[in-house]
């Protein structure tokens, strides 16, 4: 059964093109033409992936994303009209998983869609295989004053729950599972974001900075999540 995709785009020509191409690839598709209708459709239909335009009448894409991230975690692929650093960072901050700048090639968009769906499938399979083993759920990972509990999707620092954005959580979990190992930005992008087609490693750096603010005793001189010169990052625990 193919994953269901919701498209929220106010430009009729682009909306139709997206719908046609996604259907042609075998995905069931629904569309909405503004932010409020999009938000409602996402809540009711519960798609497996959302393609969300940034500039929308009524409620803009950022606000739709912010609302949805309170209680959903399906991948959100943002469409932005400008190659703007601010749009990109704000989009990721409100919980988008990937973004693509207009105008784009349909082939590129379909590749991004497939990469996101593959990432989600991988995570789901990991969970399933874990739950059929002797120990039904992955044990909490303890690193100093941090306790990461994958079974509950929560992180405690000195016994208090840390409020992490979805990508910060996935990033921390990935680091914790590979403690002491150098992880390149490419490895991180592929595993945490499912990006295989663009080498935009600034995204990793931004999220590492946010994560450090929450887990480092002194974020200005990181001791737990260290930068490896010319390489990537290493989690010391």
Residues making contact with Ca ion (CB under 5 A): 10, 53, 55
Residue among 9 and 170 whose Cβ is closer to Ca ion: 9
Residue among 10 and 196 whose Cβ is closer to Ca ion: 10
Give me the sign of the Cα torsion angle 187, 191, 193, 194.
positive
**Least separation, in Å, of the C-beta of 83 and Ca ion?**
16
- CB–CB of 182/106 below 8 Å? no
Residue among 10 and 93 whose Cβ is closer to Ca ion: 10
**Least separation, in Å, of the C-beta of 23 and Ca ion?**
21
Alpha carbons within 13 angstroms on the beta-carbon side of residue 138 total: 19
**Least separation, in Å, of the C-beta of 59 and Ca ion?**
12
DSSP string over 61-118: HHHHHHHHTTT--S-EEEEESS--HHHHHHHHHTT-SEEEESS--HHHHHHHHHHHHH
Q: Which residue minimizes CB distance to Ca ion?
A: 55
Two tokens, residue 2: 């193919």
Residue among 38 and 194 whose Cβ is closer to Ca ion: 38
**Least separation, in Å, of the C-beta of 21 and Ca ion?**
18
């Amino acid at each position: 059964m193919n994953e269901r995709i919701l498209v929220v785009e106010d430009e009729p020509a682009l909306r139709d093109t997206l719908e046609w191409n996604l259907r042609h690839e075998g995905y069931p598709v629904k569309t909405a033409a503004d932010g409020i209708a999009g938000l409602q459709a996402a809540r009711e239909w519960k798609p497996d992936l959302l393609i969300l335009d940034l500039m929308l009448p009524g409620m803009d894409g950022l606000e739709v994303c912010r609302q949805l991230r309170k209680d959903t975690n399906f991948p959100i692929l943002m469409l932005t009209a400008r190659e703007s650093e601010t749009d990109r960072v704000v989009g990721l901050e409100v919980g988008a998983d990937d973004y693509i700048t207009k105008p784009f090639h349909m082939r590129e968009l379909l590749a991004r869609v497939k990469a996101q769906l593959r990432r989600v499938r991988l995570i789901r399979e990991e969970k399933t295989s874990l739950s059929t083993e002797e120990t039904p759920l992955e044990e909490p990972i303890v690193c100093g004053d941090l306790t990461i509990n994958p079974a509950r999707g929560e992180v405690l620092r000195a016994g208090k729950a840390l409020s992490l954005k979805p990508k910060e959580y996935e990033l921390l979990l990935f680091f914790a599972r590979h403690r002491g190992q150098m992880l390149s930005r490419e490895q991180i992008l592929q595993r945490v974001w499912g990006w295989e087609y663009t080498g935009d490693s600034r995204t990793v750096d931004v999220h590492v900075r946010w994560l450090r603010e929450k887990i480092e005793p002194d974020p200005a001189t990181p001791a737990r999540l260290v930068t490896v010169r010319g390489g990537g990052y290493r989690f010391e625990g």
